[in-house]
Amino acid sequence: MPKAIFVDTSRCTACRGCQVACKEWHGFGAVPTRQRGSHQNPPDLTHFNYKLVRFNEHKTDGKIQWLFFPDQCRHCTAPPCKDVADGFVKDAIIVDQPTGIVFYTETTKQLTIDQCKDITEACPYNIPRRDTDSGKLTKCDMCIDRVQANMQPSCVKTCCTGTMNFGERAAMLELAKTRLAEVKKKHPAAMLVDPESVSVIFLITEPKKMYHKYVERETETGPLTRKALFAKLARPFGSITG
Ligand code: SF4
Ligand code: SF4
Ligand code: SF4
């Protein structure tokens, strides 16, 4: 059965336990860092930070409003990153059929730097990052080793606020819809982000323009049309159906 993560940002306290748990599970060590004028640290996703709690700060009615977004790969149900990668190295990126997890294999090392850029460009959420030492293209693997052992992903297991939830995709969609109805009473602009096309479903409380640039898949009229077109063109000819 396909799995999914539901991320209810209305409950996030930005403790960053999920960010640290992800690093720990994948054996990524601590790196020196510094305050750059934001609590978002590191400033962006890296090949050793698959999870990043993003901070957006706004002044509303004279009060500071902080929005937290624990970003990661959305495990798209039809991943454009795979579409593009298959045009370069077949099955460097695979979809694990039982779970729906989008998994980057060791053969991503065969991709050139420019090909990796094209794949990142095709991702609506700007997620993949290249490891310059190994040459591997990387991102969140939904802790596939844990999931296959009937365990929760590390970030979900660590989160104690109810922000991160994991289970069957259908159940997570139901939970997301239930929570949306509740959250809308206090935050009328609350919405689910691309729920039909991803398996990491975010609930945000405010209009998407108040978050980072890649919070939501852009519409057909937006600049991602070119990316979508590129992804389609990269598919084998017979599979370009619409
Ligand atoms: Fe938010 Fe949970 Fe991550 Fe803490 S562990 S930052 S509450 S998602
Ligand atoms: Fe691929 Fe990006 Fe979708 Fe993740 S979010 S599956 S990296 S296209
Ligand atoms: Fe990291 Fe696993 Fe969470 Fe993905 S699911 S962000 S790999 S801890």
Residue 141 has pLDDT above 70, yes or no: yes
If you ran DSSP here, which 8-state letter would residue 191 be given?
A: E
The answer to whether residues 174 and 198 belong to one domain is: yes
Tell me, yes or no, whether 31 lies in a domain: no
Burial 164-202 (b: 16+ CB within 10 A, else e): bbbbebeebbebbeebbeebeeeeeebbbbbbeebbbbb
- Percent residues over pLDDT 70 in the chain: 90
Q: Are strands 93-96 and 63-71 parallel, antiparallel or unpaired?
A: unpaired
- Percent residues over pLDDT 90 in the chain: 83
pLDDT at 190: 98
pLDDT at 80: 98
Q: How far does the centroid of ligand 1 lie from the alpha carbon of residue 118, in Å?
A: 31
The answer to whether residues 97 and 182 belong to one domain is: no
Tell me, yes or no, whether 51 lies in a domain: yes
Tell me, yes or no, whether 30 lies in a domain: no
User: Which residue CA neighbors atom 1 of ligand 3 most closely?
Assistant: 22
State pLDDT tens for residues 1-57: 899 999 999 999 999 999 999 999 999 998 888 888 888 999 999 999 999 999 999
Reference 228, options 35, 107, 62, 84; nearest CA is: 84
H runs (alpha helix) in 58-162: 80-86, 113-122, 144-148, 154-158
Residue 58 has pLDDT above 90, yes or no: yes
Structural domains in the chain (count): 2
Tell me, yes or no, whether 242 lies in a domain: no
Q: Which atom of ligand 1 is nearest to the CA of 53?
A: 6
Q: CATH code at 104?
A: 3.30.70.20
pLDDT at 131: 97
User: Which residue CA neighbors atom 3 of ligand 2 most closely?
Assistant: 76
The answer to whether residues 95 and 178 belong to one domain is: no
pLDDT at 37: 86
State pLDDT tens for residues 146-205: 999 999 999 999 999 999 999 999 999 999 999 999 999 999 999 999 999 999 999 999
Judged by its nearest atom, the ligand closest to the C-alpha of residue 104 is 2
Reference 5, options 65, 57, 71; nearest CA is: 71
Domain ranges, residue 200: 3-25+39-74+150-210
Q: How far does the centroid of ligand 2 lie from the alpha carbon of residue 218, in Å?
A: 14
Q: Which atom of ligand 3 is nearest to the CA of 21?
A: 8
**Ligand 3 pocket check for 25: Cβ under 6 Å:** yes
